[in-house]
Structure 1
Amino acid sequence: MDRPPLFSSDLQAAYEHLHAASRAEPYPAWSIRRDRLRRLAALIRANETLLCQAISDDFGHRSAAETQVLDVVPSLEAIRHALRHGASWMRPRRASTSIWFWPARAQLLPQPLGLVGIIAPWNYPLYLAVGPLASAFAAGNRAMVKLSEFSPAFGAQFSRLVRAAFDPAELVIFTGGADEAAAFSSLPFDHLLFTGSTAVGKRVMAAASANLVPVTLELGGKSPAVLTPEFDVQLAADRIVYGKLVNAGQTCVAPDYVLLPRNALEAFATACERAARRLYPQGLRSPDYCSIIDMRHYSRLTALQAHAHAAGVKLHPLFAGTQHMDLQHRLAPVLFIDPPDDIALMQDEIFGPWLPLVPYDNVEQAITYINARPRPLALYWFDRDKRRIGQALRATHAGGVTVNDTLFHVAQDDLPFGGIGPSGMGQYHGRLGFETFTKLKPVLYQPRLAGTALVRPPYGKAFARLIAMMKR
């Protein structure tokens, strides 16, 4: 019988084994790194159907097509990008040398950190494990990955496949609940990357700090979409609704609320309804509409709705008929019209198919609204005025921006992914992901004859003249 994923009793032993292996091979050749990346890609390609089914089982229902476009393809593209560029990323880089130290020369040597820990969430369990893993492998590291306890079917399947494809001195997968996650984040990794909620991110960072482990935190927050007055309302609705409803809103960069002109509220709500029904013509029973991950999150979301309704907020359902039902814990999308700031819906990241519409009277007011809140992981700006777009980009802070669409800046391997403050710390993807898991070691090469002899004691007139020149 196949052995289950690693238990907590295995955690320390697995760490020590991988740590020792990383120290025994501090600078793996590109051929070794390339082989690990290729095996990771082959694992995904050969087992795509199994992985899609496991993810659907964890959600209650998620269409294979959605998993392909949101998990499989981005994972393979991250690996492909690393394979295409990794050999050049790892080459020593020339650095300039101060004129006072000529003829010495300087360079930066990209060196693997060693052993990387990755904590992946349940909402995109494949991509948010494989994406950082591709960067870590390209950089020459070994890795331990902690998968979410809320995706047990995927965790069991992926763990089994990794054990068949990788030596335990290269990569191990770890599962388990909160206690195991706490133990994992307390290990003295050379770097720890966590993707998840801000609240849990604080605990992960606190645990890592005991060992001075550098962390990358990919969190979330309330990412706004801004519709400017002249933009096509239906086009904006089509793109915002897609970004909100894919994966039933369980996306860290999903638009969390929409800022829009006050006189466009009704037209935009109607346009959102049209967009939702085009995407999911059978409503909750549409085979492409995703379930909420479990009843705990389902209950949390219905409580947010009930609280908003009790506060007098107008609700605008986007599907005809029943607004929610226990159909594999699916929730139909709802717009919340002009909700007050002090209700729960507007305080924390929604992470579901609810979309508040917040009216403004001028664009400057919308920018002020965004800047008065914690810096978001994403900003979506819908505008045709290039000058105003530039002003908005300079006036606001966000982890990443897509102009005139949603989500897709995350899919660009040459754009870093990461938040600011409550929405995250650090970044990865592409070359910047490689550098996150790399120490750019500075090296100075000094020749036999060096000018530094002139600044050694005993200090005399020649030293004084040199120092005078250096201080000019």
Structure 2
Amino acid sequence: MRGAWQARRPDYAQRRDDLRRLRAALKARLTRMAEAIAADFGHRPRQESLLADGMPVLAAIDHLLAHLRGWMRPQRVAAGWRLWPARAQLRHEPLGVVGVISPWNYPVNLALVPLATAIAAGNHVYLKPSESTPATSRLLRELLAEVFPAERVAVAQGGPEVGQAFAALPFDHLVFTGSTAVGRKVMAAAAEHLTPLTLELGGKSPAIVCADYPPERAAARLATGKWFNAGQTCIAPDYVLLVGRQRREAFVQALRAEVTSRYGDLSGEAGDYARIIDERQFARLQAWLDEAHARGCTVLPLAAGHDPARRLFAPTLVLDPPEDIALMREEIFGPILPVLAVDSLEQAIAFVNARPRPLALYPFSHDRRQVEAVLGSVLAGGVTVNDTLLHFAATGLPFGGVGPSGMGAYHGRAGFDAFGKLLPVLWQPRRSLTDRIRPPYAAIDRLIDLIVR
């Protein structure tokens, strides 16, 4: 692939045409995309697939097309008076071949957004989709083969052994989205070639509901963030810190009312509620919930219909769990929501800061000072204030983690820059300072004094 890229680096017209054809091919397959994802999950609402897998890709491509010409234009920068009359500029050059390892939870979004960004930056792409979503992976391979020649975009399919070999290839840049544990392995494999990485990992993303914020409104917005895709979202709120212990009952009842109004009794068809991706993930969640039971936690199912046979895991609250159980140590990645009541905002901030830096942070308050107190004290990958998830959908905002939740960022200009090389170029005119700065130095002492003043 790199040989083909070196032979002809894609120009603006080619990149624009590629993005347009990619958009058209996906748009024509949105129904099939939703069907493939539903087949892989056992069931996922068509609307959730359109919103979370279709829309972000289309929006990302639209944003890239709107800004591509300007981003590709060389940027003049100051060379400094000491180098006068030289001129300096930054050129955005493609790297070559970008590898993308995408996960199963949003199998189209998290494959095609980095792919489209890498294409916009002028690269070729090698994609490794998740083996947990075989129907969607087949759809992606078909779609990409229609749009791109094999030397421009290729798709590798297979299990963990293929993923391990893929991560060890000498890419010019590698994007991985997945768990922190696997991210460490990818980083180790890429180190052999010093491959630069964008790691989009996970972590325990907290929501802090301040004392002034109405519990009913917080419950409504947290319900969307937590139970969309049955909680299988890397930026889903992982636990809630509720300021004001006396408000806990009202908050719990509000969450229960949200689940009832959205999903009803899950014993039936449960058409608006996604399933857990496979038996292994379902068993993991059940084991963690069983541990909470065994430790004496208050466990509150919010709907009937919990059904391992259908991999339907009902929305569930765990109240004030101890800090050492799995639900509070590990990223949940499912529809279980721990709720911890605290006495003050300061206590909530201290709780978050005692743990690894999260991928997302959700402060809820109408008091700007309280929000600023959170933003000024907690460092996270991204923040949505008084809501959840939506910072991911803002096309102009970079998306990425910090520390154990990831490194690097993509989306919009951040991804365009990450998947390219800002090449510094100094243009020297006919006359140059170096024509004079040479021995014997005694003859130019005054000039040197001027330069180093």
In structure 2, the partner of 1:263 is: 246
Distance 2:108 2:310 in 1: 21
| 1:404 aligned residue (386, 407, 410) | 386
- 1:216-235 residue pairs with structure 2 within 5 A? 216-235=198-217
Alignment check: 8 A CA contact 2:168 2:192 kept: yes
Q: Does 1:49 align with 2:37?
A: no
**2:370 aligned with 1:378, yes or no?**
no
Q: Could you tell me the TM-score, scaled by structure 2's length?
A: 0.98
Question: How far 1:75 moved relative to its partner?
Answer: 0.7
After superposition, residues 235-314 of structure 1 pair within 5 angstroms as 235-261=217-243, 262-283=245-266, 285-314=269-298
- 1:281 is displaced (CA, Å) by 2.3
Are 1:269 and 1:316, in contact at CA under 8 Å, matched by a contact in 2? Answer: no
Task: Tell me the secondary structure at the aligned position of residue 436 of structure 2.
Answer: helix
- Deviation string for 1:267-302 (max 9, x for gaps)? 111110011112212335321100000000000000
Contact conserved, 1:55 with 1:62, CA < 8 A, in 2?
Answer: yes
Q: Which residue of 2 aligns with 1:466?
A: 447
Structure 1 length normalisation: TM-score? 0.94
**d(CA) in 2 for partners of 1:266, 1:176:** 48
Cα deviation digits, residues 321-366 of structure 1 (max 9, x gap):
34x2135211001110000000111100000000001121110111
Looking at structure 2, the residues matched to 338 and 204 of structure 1 have their Cα atoms a distance apart, in angstroms, of: 35
Q: Check conservation: 2:282, 2:308, Cα contact below 8 A.
A: no
> Aligned with 2:379: secondary structure?
coil
Question: Which residues in structure 2 correspond to 1:51-70 (within 5 Å)?
Answer: 51-70=33-52
Q: Distance in 2 between matches of 1:157 and 1:139?
A: 24
Once the two structures are superposed, what CA deviation does each residue of 1:76-125 show, in whole Å capped at 9, x if it has no partner?
11111111111111110111111100100000010000100000000000
* 2:117 counterpart of 1:141: no
Partner residue, 1:207: 189
In 1: Cα distance, 2:405 partner to 2:434 partner: 47
Give the Cα separation in 1 of the matches to 2:434 and 2:348: 58
> What residue identity is the alignment partner of 2:312?
R
User: Counterpart in 2 of 1:24?
Assistant: 7
State yes or no: 1:391 paired with 2:381.
Answer: no
Q: Give me the whole-angstrom Cα distance separating, in 1, the residues matched to 2:422 and 2:143.
A: 33
Distance in 1 between residues matched to 2:358 and 2:134, nearest whole Å: 30
Q: How many angstroms does 1:49 deviate by?
A: 1.3
**What is residue 399 of structure 2 aligned with on the other side?**
417
Q: What's the offset of the Cα at 1:461? A: 4.4
Deviations 1:106-165 (A, max 9, x none): 000100001000000000000001110111011011101000010011111221222232
Match for residue 15 of structure 1? none
Equivalents in 2 of 1:470, 1:360: separation in Å? 60
Q: Give secondary structure in 2 for the equivalent of 1:84.
A: helix
Cα deviations across residues 217-236 of structure 1 (Å, max 9, x unaligned)?
00010000000001011000
Whole-angstrom CA distance in 2 between matches of 1:221 and 1:325: 27
Aligned length: 451
Match of 1:347 in 2: 329
Q: Which amino acid aligns with 1:103?
A: P
Q: Which runs of 4 or more aligned residues in structure 1 lie more than 4 Å from their structure 2 counterparts after TM superposition? A: none
> Is 1:72 equivalent to 2:44 in the alignment?
no
Q: Tell me, what secondary structure is at the counterpart of 2:317?
A: strand
Tell me by how many angstroms 1:452 deviates. Answer: 2.9
Q: What SS does structure 1 have at the residue aligned with 2:170?
A: coil
Q: Which amino acid aligns with 1:109?
A: R
Maintained 8 Å contact 2:26/2:143: no
CA distance in 2, matches of 1:414, 1:157: 28
Q: Which runs of 5+ in 1 are unaligned?
A: 1-17
- Partner of 1:44, secondary structure, is helix
Moved more, 49-58 or 398-407: 49-58
Provide the residue aligned with 1:337 in structure 2. 319
Q: Which runs of 5+ in 2 are unaligned?
A: none
In structure 1, what is the Cα distance between the partners aligned to 2:337 and 2:415?
32
- 1:277/1:283 contact within 8 Å kept: no
- Take 1:278 and 1:438, find their aligned partners in 2: how far apart are those partners? 47
CA deviation string 1:356-391 (max 9, x = no partner)? 011211101111111110000000000111122112
SS in 1 for 2:105: coil
Q: Distance in 2 between matches of 1:335 and 1:456?
A: 75
SS of structure 2 residue aligned to 1:154: helix
Alpha-carbon offset, residue 454 of structure 1? 3.0
Identify which of 79, 90, 93 aligns with 1:97: 79
Shift of 1:190: 0.4
Q: Aligned partners of 2:168 and 2:283: how far apart in 1?
A: 31
* Contact 1:101–1:452 (CA under 8 A) maintained in structure 2: no
The 3-state SS of whatever aligns with 1:315 is strand
Amino acid at match of 1:466: L
**1:430 is the counterpart of 2:412:** yes
RMSD: 1.1
